[in-house]
Structure 1
C-alpha cells in the first residue's frame, strides 16, 4: 500500500513540474529557389526548386515553372524542363558584356527575378609545381602550386580550384574489364598566400577551392601560391582552374565556403550554417556569370 501511495505522489510531483512554453518558431518563407551559374557561349542551365524545412523529404524540384531569359531587357525566350528541376535551351547562349535577367514563374509562388553579366576572362600564363615545399601540422609533406596571371581592369573577383585525373576501370556485367573512364575530382588545398589569408582563410584551412579579390594586386601580374598534398601521383596530370566572376559570384561562393565546413557530427565544428548569399529577388539562390581558364599541369613539372 505504501509503495502505491509513493508512486501516486511521485507522479503528482512530476506533473507539477511540467510547464507549457510557447515558442515563436519562424516559418519557412514560401519562395522559389533559383540556381544558375552561366558562362560565355554555353546554354543556361537553371535549377528551380522550392524552399522548405529539413523534415520535408519530398522532392523539392519543380517541373511546372516558366523560366524566361532576357538580354539587355529584351526577351530571348523561355527554357524547357529536362529533368530534376533543370531548365535549359541550346539556342540561348550568353556572351560577355551583355546584361542577362531571369524571371521564374510558378503557380502559387512569388515571381523570382535576378540579373547579372559575364566578366572578362583572365588567362593563366604559367603554372609551376614545387614538391616537398613543407609539412603540415600533422607532419605530412605537401607541394606548392604557383599560378601566374595578370589582373584586368574589368576583372576583380576570382576563384582557384585544382582537379586530379583518375582513370576509373569499367567492366561488363560479367566482371570482365572493358576499358576505363577519365574522371576529374577536386583536390583539397591550403594556402599561406597573403591574398587568400586576406579573405579570412587560415593557414590550417583545407578547401576544395578558394575565392579572392584583386585588392592586393589590382592591374598587376600576380603569382598565387596554394598547397596540395604530396600523396598525389607525381606522374598524374592536374587541372588548375582559374575563374573570374561578378560580385554576386564572389559573395555566393564565399558564403558557401564558410557554410560547408560546419558539421552536425563534429562537436568542435557544430552545425550552425552560415546564411547563404542570394541575388534573387522574391526568392533564394544565385544567378551569376563567370569565366574559366584551365591549365594542365603535371606534378613532375
Structure 2
C-alpha cells in the first residue's frame, strides 16, 4: 500500500533530497527548512518544506523537473514548463449601479466583508482587461485584484479583493490566500464582530482560451469602487496546462464535496511514482488609477 511522505506513521527525518533540473540539466538542490518543521502548526508539522531562495530564477519557455528522493520510497519526479507571460494590452473601467450576481454571495470574501446586504442598485465598477491571446497553442488564465490605499478605516492598506463576472453564473475558480502586512481594523456589521486579519481568501476565476484562441479578447470583471485615494492592481496570470487542469479538478471537488452520493473526483497529477502537482505560472501586472 502506498503512503504519502507526510503520513503521520512515518518518522520524519532530514534525509529527503530535492533536486531541480532545467531543460534536463541539473540546476540546484533545494535546502530543507528544518525550523519550519519544528515550529509548524498541528496541520503542518511533519511536512518537509524546501523553500526556493532568491538565487533560483525560473525562465519562461523552459522546462523544469523536480526529483524527490526519500529513504524507502521510489524517486518521485514531476515536470512542467514555465509559460510565457501574456501582457495586459489595455486596461479600462466604468462605474455604474447594478446587482451582484448570486455567485458572489457564496464567496468567503463576502461573508467576512463589511458590505451590507443590498443586492440591487449597488455602486460598482466594471474593469475591462484586454489581451492578445497567442495563436497555435492552448492558453490558460487566472486574474487577481488588489486594493491599495494609503489609509482606511475598514480595509487593509493592501488587500486582495473579490470580484465577479456576469458572463457565467457558475464560473470555475481556485481558492487563493493572500497575506498582507497590514490588517483590517476591528469593527462590526451584519451581526458579526471583526478581529484584525492579515490573510484574505478569495475565489479567483480561471479561463481557457478555447473560445478565443489566437485573437484579441476582453475579460470583464465587476468589483466594488476602491474609494478615495485608493487604486487597484490587476494581476493577469498565464497558467501552464498542468496548473489549470489541476485547479479545474479542485473546483469540481469543491462543488460536490458535501454530496455523499457524488462521483469521486480524480485530481489531475503530473508526477511519476506518486500523486501530486508541480505546476508553474507567469504574471503581468498593471495599475488602475481612479
Question: Smaller-chain TM-score range?
Answer: 0.5 to 0.7
Q: Which residue of the other structure, out of 127, 132, 146, is the alignment partner of 2:91? A: 127
- Equivalence map 1:272-291=2 (5 Å): 275-291=266-282
- Give the Å deviation of 1:157: 1.1
- Give the Å deviation of 1:295: 1.0
Normalised TM-score (structure 1): 0.64
Q: What is the distance in 1 between the residues matched to 2:149 and 2:203?
A: 17
Is 2:241 the counterpart of 1:241? no
Post-superposition Cα deviations, 1:4-24, rounded to whole Å, max 9, x if no partner, equal xxxxxxxxxxxxxxxxxxxxx
- Equivalence map 1:125-204=2 (5 Å): 125-136=89-100, 137=102, 138-139=119-120, 141=122, 142-153=124-135, 154=137, 156-165=139-148, 184-193=158-167, 197=168, 201=171
Where structure 2 has 5 or more consecutive residues not aligned to the other structure, the ranges are: 38-47, 103-118, 173-200
- Give the Å deviation of 1:125: 1.6
Write 1 or 2 for the structure with the bigger share of strand. Answer: 1
Q: Mean alpha-carbon deviation: is it higher for 127-136 or for 156-165? A: 127-136
- Give the Å deviation of 1:259: 4.0
Q: Residues 61 and 220 from structure 1, CA distance in 2 versus in 1: closer, same or farther, beyond 3 angstroms?
A: farther
Q: What is the distance in 2 between the residues matched to 1:285 and 1:63?
A: 21
> Contact 2:150–2:230 (CA<8 Å) still a contact in 1?
no
Is 2:73 the counterpart of 1:109? yes
Post-superposition Cα deviations, 1:34-90, rounded to whole Å, max 9, x if no partner, equal xxxxxxxxxxxxxxxx2x4xxx6x999875420011122221231112334332344
> Contact 1:120–1:155 (CA<8 Å) still a contact in 2?
no
> Contact 2:160–2:202 (CA<8 Å) still a contact in 1?
no
Aligned to 1:225: 220
Q: What is the distance in 1 between the residues matched to 2:83 and 2:227?
A: 35
> Contact 2:62–2:81 (CA<8 Å) still a contact in 1?
yes
SS of alignment partner, residue 250 of structure 2: helix
Is 2:16 the counterpart of 1:65? yes
Normalised TM-score (structure 2): 0.66
Counting matched residue pairs gives: 226
Q: What is the distance in 2 between the residues matched to 1:118 and 1:86?
A: 22
SS of alignment partner, residue 77 of structure 1: strand
Q: Which residue of the other structure, out of 80, 83, 86, is the alignment partner of 2:49? A: 86
SS of alignment partner, residue 59 of structure 2: coil
Aligned to 2:196: none
> Contact 1:263–1:271 (CA<8 Å) still a contact in 2?
no
> Which protein is bigger by CA-based radius of gyration?
1
- Give the Å deviation of 1:109: 3.0
> Contact 2:238–2:281 (CA<8 Å) still a contact in 1?
yes
SS of alignment partner, residue 244 of structure 2: helix
- Give the Å deviation of 1:263: 7.5
Q: Residues 60 and 118 from structure 1, CA distance in 2 versus in 1: closer, same or farther, beyond 3 angstroms?
A: farther
Post-superposition Cα deviations, 1:191-212, rounded to whole Å, max 9, x if no partner, equal 123xxx39x628xxx9621111
Q: What is the distance in 1 between the residues matched to 2:228 and 2:269?
A: 40
Q: What is the distance in 2 between the residues matched to 1:258 and 1:238?
A: 30
When the two chains are superposed, the root-mean-square deviation of aligned CA atoms in Å is 3.4
Aligned to 2:249: 255
- Give the Å deviation of 1:183: 5.3
Q: Mean alpha-carbon deviation: is it higher for 273-282 or for 209-218? A: 273-282
Q: What is the distance in 1 between the residues matched to 2:207 and 2:281?
A: 14
Where structure 1 has 5 or more consecutive residues not aligned to the other structure, the ranges are: 1-26, 33-49, 170-181
SS of alignment partner, residue 285 of structure 1: coil
